[in-house]
Structure 1
Amino acid sequence: MPVSPELLKQLLRKQKDNTITDREMALLRLYLSTPEAEDQLASIDFSDMPDAAGEPATSQEIRFQQIMQKIPRKPVRKVLWYRLAGVAAVALVMTGIGMLLQEDKDPPMLTLQTSNGELKEVILPDSSRIFLNARSAIRYPASFSGKTRTVQLLQGQAYFDVTKQEAPFIVESREGMQTIVLGTTFTVMTDSIANHFQVAVKTGKVRVERQQNTIATLLPGDGVFYDFTKSKTTHTDPGGIGEWTSGEVRLSEASFAEMANLVKQLYGITVIAGDAAVQHNQYNLPVKYGTDLRPLMEVICMVNGNRAEWRKDSTAVIIR
């Protein structure tokens, strides 16, 4: 029976933070001796553990040592252990893991963040999936317990594909917004700088609240924009919600502000309208993640017969 990837990474983090116990270290080594370990280690995504990422899927013990060499070791007493095999080893590992879970009543919180133009996917302990858009950050527990499943969207945008369970799934923002579902697919965007919050529903039903007051109840295709003074609901084709998870966004009759926000999100570059006429431009074109920005800006300018002027420090571009 395989060990949860999040629990395995939790133990590795304890080793890195010098908080791992002798028994936990012994359990790690014992797990690596089981028949299931090789395939599972090869499939685990270590991208959110920079010190342990990119290790090849070699034999269990070699892989373990390669990971451990990048993590400061905690001085511990020598632990004598023997390589067990088959069912007996798996049973012993699972018994030990069960004891560890009982001890860790408050599971550690994990943080995932993305940089310019980067997308990341994480599978939560309940098998729900989160796609994190560029320049975004999310915080989630290594395991769910209690009556709710709560994650925190710290900044940016995320697409949620939530596994249906009795325990409500809640997305919280720093501004006190809550998006509450049982099992559905939807996007949430929070911008603490511009001070607004957006939700759009692809499937299922979503309730948006702030301080226990309902802002909106949304069905497929519904969205809400909330700037902490007023809310505005919208309706669109549900098929287009979360399309950015494929690594491409299609601008369709997009405003200058929408185009500028996309460029800021993907590249961290500010786009400025050089005159009032430019602010009324509309844009229809696909934008692929990872595209070189300067050729892309040339195409964006060609759409409306404009030209781009770059600042010397390349932190902004003016469209005239």
Structure 2
Amino acid sequence: MPVSPELLKQLLRKQKDKTITDREMVLLRLYLSTPEAEEQLAGIDFSDMPDAAGQPAAPQEVRFRQILQGLPRKPVRKTTWYRLAGAAAVVLLIAGIGMLLRQGGEASSPVPMLTLQTGNGELKEVILPDSSRIFLNARSAIRYPAGFDGKTRTVQLLQGQAYFDVKKQETPFTVESREGMQTIVLGTSFTVMADSVAGHFQVAVKTGKVRVDRQQRAVATLLPGDGVFYDIAKGLARTMHADPGSIGEWTEGEVRLSGASFAEMADLMQQLYGITVTAGNAAVRHNQYNLPVKYGTDPRPLMEVICMVNGNHAEWRKDSTAVIIR
């Protein structure tokens, strides 16, 4: 998203006057390092910018570099339990720039939609313009606007699972999924799982109150600890209950299997690593599993541990995309 010369110069002036906020400073530095900023150089006059007075005339690109070098740097705190890709930083930059544009009264084009996705064993977090947070589970994808218009707060869960910690406002917050599924809240925390292949949809509530609809018709109203599993093909809903404290535990980078069935273990390996796990005999299908699974673990030694729990062994395909447990 290009920034107007006026806004760019306004931020630089605020930096010179020491009135710029920490957030504006971060956005300014991020924007000045993008290709879009370079493309704007030819059309911006920096002669009245900080430290320009009294200096000999210089090409605009040189002045731009002088200004950039004069900006103070702030340390960046790194996360420790998951990897936040560089693309996510760009996403946050675009969202923040969009907010600055709207605050300055200069936004005239539609708010762009952004997409965030994760790979095998990967977690990502995004902070929305309203300060709500989304944690995206492995092999999942969401689509959301760079800014909210004050009338609606809507994001789309394209595939997989996400945990939402929604900032309470009068404007409802809606999670849309395929096949017309909607999860509507005002301010709460909950998880949504959408499996477009199997045609399953699931919501579990940690705090607050959540309404689940399909094609504008109510499916369930959920309170803390409540959940609903919806079979889209059959149009059937099944309610569930769980300890609210256990909902969204995977956001800490670990899943604990507790009395999990073979099918549940296999689903987890598919979600985290894209590995298809099958049972080599009927006895294996009745196994139960009790162990923690950390994100980012090498799947081969992890599968060896999983097999040892019940005295089994693993037979891998050569491309490591599938394993048979016998």
Q: Partners in 1 of 2:23 and 2:101 — Cα distance?
A: 19
Q: Map 1:243-254; keep pairs closer than 5 Å.
A: 243-254=249-260
Percent identity reads: 67
Residue 26 of structure 1: how far off its partner (Å): 4.6
Amino acid at match of 2:301: P
| 8 A contact 2:313–2:325 mirrored in 1 | yes
8 Å Cα contact 2:15/2:25 also seen in 1 = no
Q: Distance in 2 between matches of 1:188 and 1:24?
A: 38
Match of 2:303 among 277, 297, 304: 297
C-alpha separation in 2, matches of 1:75 and 1:282 = 61
Q: Which residue of 2 aligns with 1:271?
A: 277
* Structure 1 residue 23: Cα displacement: 4.4
Q: CA 1:146–1:38 in 2, change beyond 3 Å: closer, same or farther?
A: closer
Secondary structure of 1:125's counterpart equals: coil
Deviation at residue 203 of structure 1 after TM alignment = 0.8
The corresponding residue for 2:61 is none
Q: Does the 8 Å contact 1:179/1:207 carry over to 2?
A: yes
Distance in 1, Cα, partners of 2:223 & 2:181? 18
Contact 2:133 2:164 in 1 (8 A): yes
TM-superposed deviation, 1:84: 5.4
Q: Which amino acid aligns with 1:224?
A: V
2-structure distance, mates of 1:182, 1:262: 31
Q: 2:158 is matched with which residue?
A: 154
> In 2 relative to 1, CA 208–97 (structure 1 residues): closer, same or farther, beyond 3 Å?
closer
CA contact (8 A) 2:154 2:174 kept: yes
CA contact (8 A) 1:311 1:317 kept: yes
Q: Partner of 1:226 in structure 2? A: 230
Partners of 1:111 and 1:240 in 2: CA distance:
28
1:173 maps to a residue whose letter is S
- The 1-side partners of 2:181 and 2:45 are apart by 51
- Return the offset for 1:35: 3.6
Note closer, same or farther for the CA distance 1:72–1:78 as it changes in structure 2 (3 Å cut). closer
Residue aligning to 1:193: 197
Shift of 1:111: 1.2
Structure 2 gap ranges (5+): 52-99
- Unaligned 5+ segments in structure 1 are 1-13, 45-59, 86-93
One-letter code of the match for 1:287? V
Aligned counterpart, 2:74: none
Relative distance call for 1:282 and 1:161 in structure 2 (3 A) is same
Q: Residue by residue, what CA displacement relative to the aligned partner does 1:194-234 show, whole Å, maximum 9, x if unpaired? A: 11100000111111000111111111111111111111111
Structure 1 pair 195/64, CA: closer, same or farther in 2 (3 Å)?
A: closer
TM-score normalised by L of structure 2: 0.77
Q: What is the CA–CA distance in structure 2 between the aligned matches of 1:319 and 1:241, rounded to whole Å? A: 29
Letter in 2 for 1:239: G
Q: Mean Cα displacement is larger for which, 134-143 or 144-153?
A: 144-153
CA shift for structure 1 position 184? 0.7
Distance 1:43 1:99 in 2: 21
Q: Aligned equivalents of 2:220 and 2:289: distance in 1?
A: 30
CA-to-partner distance for each residue in 1:19-58, whole Å, 9 max, x for gaps? x6554555565566564668437867xxxxxxxxxxxxxx
Contact 2:12 2:50 in 1 (8 A): no
Aligned-partner SS, 2:197 = coil
Number of positions where the alignment pairs a residue of Structure 1 with one of Structure 2: 275
